Structure 1
Amino acid sequence: MDIHQNARLTPYSREQLARKVICTGCTLKLAAASFNVSAKTAGKWVRRYRAEGSDGLRDRSSRPHRSPRRLPEALRLSVIELRRGYMPGYQIARRSAVSVSSVSRILRRARLSRWRDLNPPPPVVRYEHAAPGDLLHLDIKGMTRFGEVSLRGDGRLRGKKEHPGFLALHVAVDDHSRMVFAQMLADQKAETTIGFLHAAVEFFASHGIGIRALLTDNGSSYRSRQFRQACQQMAIKHSRTRPYTPRTNGKAERFIQTAMREWAYAKHWTDSSQRDQHLQSWIHYYNHERPHGSLNYKPPISRSQEGTTS
C-alpha cells in the first residue's frame, strides 16, 4: 500500500492512536502529543476508525469529487482525433476553441505530444527456424588495429604512430542452434566474404549442419555479383534484410554486441594481435559452454546435430 510521503503515521500507528482514545479514554490532545501530531489529525483518524474500522485508516485520494472546469470528454476525444491526423497543437487549439496549454495537457496524457508518437515503430516479431541450417545469419563488424602505447610523465603518448588500419570481424550465426563461426579478416571485400562463407559452411558441416539459406544486410560485399554467384554454386538461397532495419538480422547483431562486451572489450589487450589470438578460444567457449538465454540457458552445441546425438 502506498503511504503519503509526508505522512507522520503509518496505518498501524493510526490504529494505536485511535484505540488509545477509544479504549482508554485518553483525550485527543494527550493522544496527539504522544504520537507527535496535531489534535485535528488525531480526531480525523479516531472518526474514521469508529466509522469504518481498520479500512478507514488507509490514505485516500486527494482528487476532488467534482471538477466543474474540466473539459468535456467529447472535446478531449476530438483533440486526440485531430492530432492523429498530424495536426499541430496550435492549430488544434484554434479549431477546438481551447487554450494551447489545455491541448498540450490532453496530448501529453494521451502520449501524443511528440511527432514520433504518431508513428511508433512496429513491434519486434521474434522468429526461429525449425532446424539447424535452415537459415544462417551473416554480418561484418569493423574492428581497429592498435599497438602498444605508453603514457609519458608529461602526459604525452609515447609509441603512437600512424593509424595501423582496420580489420573486419566476419560472423555467421545459425538461426536455430545459435552456433557461431567467426573470423578476423583483413577487409570486407567480396572475395574475402566469399572465402569466409566457404569456411563457415565447412565449419557447420563438421557439426552435422548443412546450410540451406543465408540472411545478410545490404553491405556492398553481400550485394556483389561474385557473392550471388557463389551462393548459386553452393545451392544456398540468399536473402537480404530491408534497408535500415538491423532488427531483421538481430541474431547476428546481438551476437556482435555480446562479443564486444565479453571478448573485445573484456580486458586490456597489449595490442590488437593479442586480442585477435583469443577470438577462437572465446568462440569455442561460446558454442560449447556459455549458457544462452534463448536456449533455456544451455550452450548452442546442445541444439546441433552433434549435441542431440551425444
Structure 2
Amino acid sequence: MGEAGMGDRSSRPHASPRRTPTRTERRIIKVRLIRRWGPARIAHLLDLVPSTVHRVLTRFGLARLTSLDRATGRVIRRYERDRPGELVHVDIKKLGNIPDGGGHKTLGRQAGRKTKSGVGYSYIHTAVDDHSRLAYSEILADEKRETATTFWQRAHAYFASCGITVQRVLTDNGSCYRSHAWRDALAAAGITHKRTRPYRPQTNGKVERFNRTLLDEWAYARPYRSEQERRDAFPDWLHTYNHHRGHTALAGKPPASRVPNLTGQYT
C-alpha cells in the first residue's frame, strides 16, 4: 500500500465470530430498559455470565444504574449552582438512638434487640450549600415546625458568618416546611422557598447524599457504647467533612476550598 500503509488503522477485526449474537444483545437491552436491572440479575435471567452482559451494556452506551431515575428510567440531570448561597438544600434524617451499654453492633444481634425498646429517636437537621457542599447540621429532639424553623435561623446565621448570602432554600414537602412559621422565617430574610416534587427525593440529592455519608462515616462507623458517645463524636466528624474530607464532586477537595471566607475574618 506504499506510504498509505504506514498510517494508523483500527485493530478491530473484520469479523468477530465469538461476539454475542445480535438477538441476545437485544434481549439484554430490553431487560435493562424495562426492568432496570444490573448485569448480574440480567445474566441470571438470560442464562449468561455477568461479564458478557456488562460488555454489551457498555458497547451500547447504556448509563449506569446510579445515573438513572429508577421510577422512570431517565438519566438523572445533575446540576451545580455557580456561587455559594444560590441554593441551600435542607432535610431531616430520623435516626434510632443507641441504648446505654450499646446496641446490636456492640452486644450482638440477639442481645441488642432486648436493649433497643424505648430508647427513642433523634432527628438530624441539615442544611447543605449546593455549590460548595458546606454543611451545617444539628441533632435535635423532633421535626416539629418550631424546631425546624429555629434550626434554619441558626443555619442561616452560620452561612452568613462564612460570607454566604443565601438566596433560595430547597426542601421536601414535610409538614414542618409547609408551616407558616417556616414560610415567615424565610420571607423575613428575603429567601425564596422551593419544594421538591412529591416522591422525588433525588431533586434534593445533595443533602440526601450527605445523609448517606453521615450514616456510613459517623452514625454507623463504629460500635458506640451509648447515644451520648455517638453525639459527642458528631462535631469532630462534621468539622472533618467541611474542612478536610475530600469530596468527589469537588475534585477531591473539601467544601471549605470553595468558601473563601469560611472563618469569617474578612468582611
The alignment yields a C-alpha RMSD, in angstroms, of: 3.2
In structure 2, the residue matched to 1:3 is none
8 Å contact kept, 1:212–1:235: yes
Question: 289, 292, 299: which is aligned to 2:254?
Answer: 299
Note if contact 1:149-1:159 (Cα within 8 Å) is conserved in structure 2.
Answer: no
Q: Which amino acid aligns with 1:266?
A: A
Deviation of 1:62 (Å): 6.0
Residue 30 (structure 2) aligns with: 111
Partner amino acid, structure 2, of 1:121: G
Q: Is the 8 A contact 1:264 1:275 kept in 2?
A: yes
Distance 2:185 2:262 in 1: 30
Gaps in structure 2 of 5+ consecutive residues: 1-14, 37-70
The answer to whether 1:270 aligns with 2:222 is no
- 2:82 maps to which of 130, 136, 153: 130
Going from structure 1 to structure 2, the CA distance change for 1:107 and 1:279 (only over 3 Å counts) comes to: same
- Provide the C-alpha distance between the structure 2 equivalents of 1:290 and 1:62, rounded to a whole number of angstroms: 46
The code of the aligned residue for 1:229 comes to D
Aligned with 1:130: secondary structure?
coil
Q: State whether structure 2 residue 13 is matched by structure 1 residue 61.
A: no
Shift in Å, 1:109: 5.1
TM-score where L is the length of structure 1: 0.61
Question: Within 5 Å, which residues of 2 pair with 1:169-208?
Answer: 169-208=124-163
CA–CA distance in 2 between the matches of 1:254 and 1:176? Answer: 14
Verify the 8 A CA contact 1:175 1:251 in the aligned structure 2. yes
Give, in whole Å, the separation in 2 of the partners of 1:270 and 1:285: 22
Structure of higher CA gyration radius? 1
Matched with 1:139 is: 91
Bigger relative contact order, structure 1 or 2 (CA pairs below 8 A, ≥6 apart) = 2
Q: Residue in 2 aligned with 1:289?
A: 244
Q: C-alpha deviations, 1:103-129, integer Å up to 9, x for none? A: xx7972551598556x84221111111
Q: 2:73 aligns with which of 110, 121, 125?
A: 121
Q: Is the 8 A contact 2:163 2:262 kept in 1?
A: no
Query: 3-state SS of the aligned residue for 1:306?
Result: coil
Change in CA separation of 1:60 and 1:185 when aligned onto 2, cut-off 3 Å: closer
Cα offset for 1:156? 5.5
Give the secondary structure class of the aligned counterpart of 2:253. Answer: coil
1:241 and 2:196 equivalent? yes
Contact 2:242/2:255 (8 A) holds in 1: yes
Pair 148,158 (structure 1): closer, same or farther in 2 beyond 3 Å:
farther
Alpha-carbon distance in structure 2 between the residues aligned to 1:144 and 1:62? 54
In structure 2, C-alpha distance between the alignment counterparts of 1:61 and 1:145, rounded to whole Å: 60
Unaligned segments of structure 1, at least 5 residues: 1-58, 64-101
Residues 1-32 of structure 1, C-alpha deviations (whole Å, 9 max, x = no match): xxxxxxxxxxxxxxxxxxxxxxxxxxxxxxxx
Question: Percent of pairs identical after alignment?
Answer: 40
Extract structure 1 runs of 4+ deviating beyond 3 A.
112-117, 149-152, 155-159, 307-310
Q: Is the 8 A contact 2:201 2:208 kept in 1?
A: yes
Matched residue pairs, number? 212
Change (3 A) 1:125 1:149: same
The letter of the residue matching 2:95 is M
Alignment-mate amino acid for residue 250 of structure 1: G
